């Protein structure tokens, strides 16, 4: 499987602050990658570097191109949905479709219209008349109709209710994604994307603190709800996190064989949200 995005020593400074601090990672074609971190961790800066929207230091290759010097060529192969509506309020839906058709060589108008036919969006409606959820639907219709190799989503469902969020991800997987496309997504609603992700990148204070496939996560990390009389023995194995849950102790282990942990209590694979919280402990101190 070929590498779509490769970063080596990626750095970005604002004054004396290191927003990205020598970041290294690879993203493979056909993957759905969750770039997850707390506010101010460097997520959006990383995405902007990928899109050629800001200068940076280090090496970054996206689809074999340098975003700093080959952005025009790169943007023909990338789609981007941000966390805020960027469409002018006076723009009509039909005009938006006309515009994209006129400027993007890989836009399929019929495909966009097929998606819109399943919504309440009409060509004569202005952006000012649309709810936030409807604006996201319009963005998705325009994006899914472009034959792009890379889709970048920065908090795409922020502020949407649960029905719109579930519809967004269902449409994304059902109508857009295939093995030749790659999706990079940032979100605070980790539990909603956990089942669709193939890979994880946890970022904290401008550094990648976890880079793993979901299969690797399942093999590496184990949670144990420890029986009280086995707590000391479990702690001796070096858990990476410890938390209380309904009066019981839950320990998180990295790399300890399950067979060694099973006699200590109830064993399970941690949810990504729990793994994230454990990794980011102290961030808000």
Q: Is the pLDDT of residue 87 over 90?
A: no
Considering the domain architecture, whether residues 198 and 232 belong to the same structural domain is answered as no
Structure tokens belonging to residue 83:
């966390």
Stretch 88-116: mean pLDDT = 90
DSSP 30-97: T-EEEEE--TTSSHHHHHHHHTT-S--EEEEEETTB-TTT-HHHHHTSEEEE-SS--S-TT-BHHHHH
Q: Give a yes or no: residue 211 inside a domain.
A: no
Share of the chain above pLDDT 70, in %: 97
Looking at residue 118, its pLDDT comes to 82
The rounded distance, in Å, linking the Cα atoms of 125 and 123 is 6
pLDDT class for 251, splitting at 50, 70, 90? very high
Stretch 259-280: mean pLDDT = 91
Looking at residue 213, its pLDDT comes to 94
Q: Give a yes or no: residue 70 inside a domain.
A: yes
Looking at residue 15, its pLDDT comes to 85
Count of structural domains within the chain: 2
Q: Give a yes or no: residue 196 inside a domain.
A: yes
Q: Is the pLDDT of residue 283 over 60?
A: no
Considering the domain architecture, whether residues 67 and 125 belong to the same structural domain is answered as yes
Q: Is the pLDDT of residue 106 over 60?
A: yes
Considering the domain architecture, whether residues 236 and 197 belong to the same structural domain is answered as no
Looking at residue 282, its pLDDT comes to 53
Considering the domain architecture, whether residues 152 and 271 belong to the same structural domain is answered as no
Q: Is the pLDDT of residue 194 over 50?
A: yes
Structure tokens belonging to residue 282:
């102290």
Strongest mean pLDDT among 54-63, 102-111, 150-159, 241-250: 54-63
Considering the domain architecture, whether residues 139 and 103 belong to the same structural domain is answered as yes
Q: Give a yes or no: residue 284 inside a domain.
A: no
Considering the domain architecture, whether residues 82 and 191 belong to the same structural domain is answered as yes
Q: Give a yes or no: residue 246 inside a domain.
A: yes
The rounded distance, in Å, linking the Cα atoms of 277 and 279 is 5
pLDDT class for 7, splitting at 50, 70, 90? very high
Looking at residue 285, its pLDDT comes to 34
Give the domain range for residue 114. Answer: 3-205
Looking at residue 85, its pLDDT comes to 58
Stretch 128-149: mean pLDDT = 86
Q: In the listed set 155, 177, 205, which residue is the last one of a domain according to the structure?
A: 205
Looking up residue 38, the CATH number of its domain turns out to be 3.40.50.300
Q: Give a yes or no: residue 44 inside a domain.
A: yes
| Closest among 260, 225, 269 to 243, alpha carbons compared | 225
Q: Is the pLDDT of residue 284 over 80?
A: no
Q: Give a yes or no: residue 210 inside a domain.
A: no
Share of the chain above pLDDT 90, in %: 56
Considering the domain architecture, whether residues 179 and 257 belong to the same structural domain is answered as no
pLDDT class for 135, splitting at 50, 70, 90? confident
Looking at residue 160, its pLDDT comes to 73
Looking at residue 133, its pLDDT comes to 80
Stretch 3-22: mean pLDDT = 93
**CB 59 within 8 Å of CB 11:** no
Considering the domain architecture, whether residues 155 and 221 belong to the same structural domain is answered as no
Considering the domain architecture, whether residues 201 and 251 belong to the same structural domain is answered as no
Q: Give a yes or no: residue 250 inside a domain.
A: yes
Looking at residue 244, its pLDDT comes to 85
Query: Which strand (E) or helix (H) includes residue 114?
Result: helix 109-116
Handedness of CA 184, 15, 210, 282 (dihedral sign): negative
pLDDT class for 26, splitting at 50, 70, 90? very high
Considering the domain architecture, whether residues 130 and 230 belong to the same structural domain is answered as no
> pLDDT for 143-189, tens place per residue?
888 888 999 988 887 777 788 788 778 877 877 788 889 999 988 77
Looking at residue 191, its pLDDT comes to 82
Considering the domain architecture, whether residues 68 and 198 belong to the same structural domain is answered as yes
């Amino acid at each position: 499987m070929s590498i779509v995005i490769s970063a080596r020593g990626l750095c970005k400074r604002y004054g004396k602050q290191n927003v990205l601090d020598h970041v290294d990672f690879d993203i493979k074609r056909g993957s759905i990658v969750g770039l997850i971190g707390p506010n101010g961790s460097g997520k959006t800066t990383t995405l902007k570097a990928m899109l050629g929207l800001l200068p940076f230091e280090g090496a970054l290759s996206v689809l074999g191109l340098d975003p700093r010097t080959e952005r025009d060529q790169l943007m023909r192969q990338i789609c981007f949905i941000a966390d805020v509506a960027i469409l002018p309020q006076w723009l009509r839906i039909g005009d938006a479709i006309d515009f994209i058709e006129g400027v993007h060589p890989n836009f399929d108008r019929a495909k966009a219209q097929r998606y819109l036919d399943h919504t309440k969006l009409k060509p004569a409606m202005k952006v000012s008349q649309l709810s936030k959820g409807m604006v996201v639907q319009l963005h998705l219709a325009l994006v899914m109709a472009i034959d792009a190799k890379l889709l970048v989503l920065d908090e795409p469902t922020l502020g949407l209710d649960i029905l719109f969020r579930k519809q967004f991800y269902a449409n994304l997987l059902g109508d857009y994604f295939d093995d030749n496309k790659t999706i990079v997504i940032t979100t605070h609603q980790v539990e909603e994307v956990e089942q669709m992700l193939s890979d994880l990148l946890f970022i904290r204070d401008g550094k990648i603190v976890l880079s793993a496939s979901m299969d690797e996560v399942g093999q590496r990390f184990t949670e144990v709800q420890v029986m009280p009389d086995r707590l000391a023995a479990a702690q001796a194995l070096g858990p990476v996190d410890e938390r209380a849950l309904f009066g019981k102790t839950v320990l998180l282990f990295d790399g300890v064989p399950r067979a060694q942990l099973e006699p200590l209590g109830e064993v399970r694979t941690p949810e990504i949200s729990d793994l994230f919280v454990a990794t980011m402990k102290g961030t808000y101190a």
